[in-house]
A and B are shown apart, each in its own frame.
Chain A
């Protein structure tokens, strides 16, 4: 078993273990930390797949941005929401059955399909992604920038309207 395989198993265990810990943790602050572990595991998987630029973006945006945003949201919603309430038994059973069924179907699809292989992975990712963004995908790139601008302005306006409504 090579080093790559061992790294793959460790990173997959981090990713999936973080997800399981989110599922079972009662305190929300801890589950944010488990989400951090899971996202770091995904970033490691990206590095293993040769997508180093995407791994750096994952750490910057997810770990540095979204997790901090979640902590902010948690802090703004008050101490009564810091713990998950007891779930009822019926809901637990139904959601468990649903997601296990989805997992079985997905795993069967992964197992049974003949996946195409034989491509050559690109060696230089950052430059290639930049070139693709500004040539082939330039329209999507502009749409994404407009989306971010709209979200920024929209969230600010949203909170301001809410505050003026309350007072």
Chain B
């Protein structure tokens, strides 16, 4: 559920990152601790709707982000329905949807650097860099996956997970080496914290 910042002028874009991070933490905790009930389902739905409205993003972006959470929601909700009852399943699904939406809205309306400068991340520059690298790695891995598929298609091979996984892993590991080199390639600063091979 890690998304990328989209520029905008909505209320959440103007809100300080520290307030948004704190808001996400408090609301997530409150939703997680709330009892199984129709009131919790209603509150979670309200939180989801308000977060989407305040983000003021294009509906397509919000819909795409919500659809990504659907497999988790269906899996958790379905399992609880089978093991417990409909109310427990509905409450869990609503909680997950609301928390995912809050996280998505936060990352869509806040630059990673602003988020990392906000309390409590400000404590560690290295932690900030590590989290930023994770954010960058996800689209990079998706691109590598697509490149492997395209390379196979260009040779007339049919898509196959077995044929795809090995080159994907090799290229992903090579990408990790590239990232290490990219840190070394910058002039040395406290942010990259890497020393050269001399």
A is bound by B: no
Interface residues, chain A, with chain B CB atoms under 8 Å away: none
